[in-house]
Amino acid sequence: MSPRTEPLRTCTGCKQKRFKRELLRIVADPEGRVIADLKGKLPARGAYVCPDRRCIEKLDKGQLIHVLKRDSLLDNGGFELSTVVAAALRERVRSLIGMAQKGGKVVSGTNLVEAAMRRSPNRRWLALIAEDASEAIVTKLSARITAGGVPLRRFITREDLGMAIGKSPRSVLLVKDAGLARAVEEAINRYKAVCVREVS
Ligand SMILES: [Zn+2]
């Protein structure tokens, strides 16, 4: 799409106009539960917000009720929009990894990842090391992965990485599909922007 025709939306938090694809879409389901519509396709009135904790925190429940034109919204067990968005982004990362696994594009486990990195590392892959991986594994693998020019991110737990591919806990995995690798990295970047407080 050319820049001229690309749709713009206004962030409900900071009121700035940005490309629609850069913003997060928030909707409510028929019961009034707030959902992060990461694919932007749910058939409900949506509110747009920058994938940034500062903008998300500016949205209170009353404002969302107004923008989404609802009578009320459920509390999601304590109304915390950033928690809803973070959970959806974590789930998105897990489902993208699952898709890569189904397509035979995931290598997991310390030994296999090391072997893959020795053979023919590709900078369009993505390496994920679990946040709770042992320091020994982190030291050993991150040097090799970085030397191979493969982007490396720390994300979710060993148990979650394993679950994403239907296996036992994994400290490390490689996504070897360029498109899915990029999608996973983008979702992780958004997650960090939403969850990590700005140090200013
Ligand atoms: Zn904003």
User: What is the chain's Cα-based Rg?
Assistant: 19
**Distance from Cα 22 to the centre of ligand 1, integer Å:** 10
- Round to whole Å and give the CA distance between 173 and 186: 17
Q: What is the pTM of this model?
A: 0.82
Residue 47 pLDDT > 50: yes
In this structure, the answer to whether residues 36 and 96 fall within a common structural domain is no
Residues in the chain, overall count: 200
**Distance from Cα 11 to the centre of ligand 1, integer Å:** 5
**Distance from Cα 69 to the centre of ligand 1, integer Å:** 20
Question: What pLDDT, on a 0 to 100 scale, did the predictor assign at position 76?
Answer: 64
**Distance from Cα 14 to the centre of ligand 1, integer Å:** 4
**Distance from Cα 103 to the centre of ligand 1, integer Å:** 36
- Round to whole Å and give the CA distance between 183 and 165: 16
Q: What is the pLDDT of residues 66-102, one digit of tens each?
A: 999 999 998 765 567 888 888 899 999 999 999 999 9
Inside any domain, residue 105: yes
**Distance from Cα 29 to the centre of ligand 1, integer Å:** 23
3-state secondary structure of 1: coil
Check if the beta carbon of residue 17 is closer than 8 Å to that of residue 31: no
Q: What are the residues facing 35 on neighbouring strands?
A: 27
**Distance from Cα 181 to the centre of ligand 1, integer Å:** 26
Confidence class of residue 198 from pLDDT cuts 50, 70 and 90?
low
Q: What is the pLDDT of residues 102-133, one digit of tens each?
A: 999 999 999 999 999 999 899 999 999 999 99
Question: What pLDDT, on a 0 to 100 scale, did the predictor assign at position 9?
Answer: 95
Neighbours of ion ligand 1 (CB under 5 A): 11, 13-14, 50, 55
In this structure, the answer to whether residues 15 and 36 fall within a common structural domain is yes
**Distance from Cα 59 to the centre of ligand 1, integer Å:** 10
Inside any domain, residue 134: yes
The residue from 19, 52, 79 where one domain ends is 79
**Distance from Cα 15 to the centre of ligand 1, integer Å:** 6
In this structure, the answer to whether residues 123 and 184 fall within a common structural domain is yes
CATH of the domain at 191: 3.30.1330.30
**Dihedral sign (CA 148, 152, 158, 160):** negative
- Total domains, the chain: 2
Check if the beta carbon of residue 112 is closer than 8 Å to that of residue 136: no
In this structure, the answer to whether residues 98 and 189 fall within a common structural domain is yes
Domain that holds residue 12: 8-79
The residue from 79, 114, 137 where one domain ends is 79
In this structure, the answer to whether residues 191 and 102 fall within a common structural domain is yes
**Distance from Cα 50 to the centre of ligand 1, integer Å:** 4
Check if the beta carbon of residue 174 is closer than 8 Å to that of residue 113: yes
